[in-house]
A and B are shown apart, each in its own frame.
Chain A
Amino acid sequence: MTSLRAGEIARLQTLIAGEVTGPAGTAGWLSGLCRTLATHLPASGAAISLMTQQGSSAMAAASDKAYQGVEELQFTLGEGPCMDAFATGRPVLVPDVAGDAAGRWPAYCSDARGRGVRAVFAFPLQIGSARLGAMDVFRDQVGPLSSAEVARALLFAEVATMTLLDGQEHARDGQPAGLGEPLDTSLEVYQAQGMVMVALGVSLVEALARIRAYAYANDRRLGSVARDIVNCTLSLERDEP
């Protein structure tokens, strides 16, 4: 079951790699991801924004120039589904920007409609309390995503999260972005993440990046490294890796 899922993620990564144009850094990879996402869901465009809990935000990638403009709208206006997805840590699915949503984000909905957007689906890029940003899927037609489509979007969000997590490490060792192992969902990984955060005095995001980098450098499975950290038989050094 786990390997099936790993296979599905590897398949997405191959599709994305085919859409990457220009340098294969994190930004190039995420743009490729947005283009792949837009063609593999009933969507007309997609975008990814990075955000911090302190309130700073920046657009990281979009499927094309037009959706770059759409994505920037919410930062200009200070409202939108993407910001809410980030703030609440859960998906915000808006099948019709002229419906109830218009009351929730009046300026955003009106401007987005003016640019041809009819539906927006926003997914947080996060691992628990470690929040990196959000991913938006846009449609030029009204209508919901099916639960299978939501599941696929969440898988794309996971690949985007992995890419952002490993970005710095990969930049250091010259590897192409976005080809890391899938996120492991065992509870020990999350526990180890909290432990490393305190032990090394780093952020929660950085803690997971360190654990993943350690596992990669030592050719070990993430879950087994996490178990050793939780059982206190392994502690990461401050200058690791």
Chain B
Amino acid sequence: MSALSAERVSEVFVELADTLVDEFDLIEFLQMVTSRASELVGSTAAGLLLADAEGRLQFMAASDEQSSLLELFQVQSHEGPCQDCFREGTAVTNADLREAGDRWPLFAPRAVAAGFRSVHAFPLRLRKEVIGALNLFGTEAGRIDSEEARVVQAMADVATIGLLQERAVRRGEVLSEQLQGALSSRIVIEQAKGAIAQAHDLTVDQAFQLLRSYSRNHNQRLIAVANEVLTDPSTVRKIIPR
């Protein structure tokens, strides 16, 4: 039996489609995908990884940017469900982390230590290529059924569309240009987190919250605020913690 609410599923897809207009913020969009995917199937946290030109998986967005969670995404550039999903091009579902020590000796113990019990990974597919993975974590060994898996896969597909859409108006764009741009914007966000944390004596996790609420309250793109802080560090003071 699936716990999915058909009404909520359609609301989420409408919300995602509505975001894909004009100049949307790619990081915010991917973050929305991770939050909604996690919410729909009752997971605790979700994240999204993209492959760089050399085929290394890099962290792009998460429903929750706690450092402990970010570490679980980063380790998957070496091994883990996203790595398997990326290499094989098929989803990894319902893996029990406590039984996965042999399969993922680096990843599984860390995930268990972070309080997780189950993990899933869904491929971001573009034609025949896999360009990344959507990763879900649960604190209980609950299973997702085939209907839920289909919905999450559809969300992974929407994430791929979002990636291609960001600058689709420019002619002659190819995937590698787009992906490099996306990966670079993640670096910009991390740099800005550091700058804000230092200026206001916060942790980087708190700094991200601040950056996010500031950009929302001022109706500015996350990446634009991050870039401004970094190119003119005097502006970092205007982002005031409440």
Contacts and interface: CB of A to CB of B under 8 A. Distances in A.
Interface of A: 1-2, 5, 53, 88-94, 99-101, 104, 124, 126-130, 144, 147, 150-151, 154-155, 185-187, 190-199, 201, 204, 230
Given A1-B78, A195-B198, 5 more contacts: A127-B187, A147-B176, A193-B194, A194-B196, A198-B233
A96 to B, nearest CB: 9
Given A129-B188, A147-B53, A195-B198, A90 B172 contact: no
B180 A195 contact: no
Nearest to A199: B198
B187 A91 contact: no
A172 B140 CA distance: 56
Contacts of B180: 90-91, 154
B188 A151 contact: no
B176 A129 contact: no
A230 to B, nearest CB: 6
A155 B171 contact: no
Nearest to A91: B177
Contacts of B187: 127-129, 190
> For the complex, would chain B's binding face be called helix, strand, loop or mixed by DSSP majority?
helix
B91 interface: no
Contacts of B78: 1-2
Contact of B193 (A144, A186, A191): A191
B54 A154 contact: yes
Contacts of B227: 129
Contacts of A128: 184, 187-188, 190-191, 230
Contacts of A192: 194
Interface in B10-48: none
Nearest to A153: B53
Given A128-B184, A186-B74, A99 B198 contact: no
A53 B231 CA distance: 8
A197 B233 contact: yes
B191 A151 contact: no
Contacts of B199: 198
B177 A129 contact: no
B53 A154 contact: yes
Centre residue among A90, A126, A193, A230 by max chain B CB count within 10 A = A90
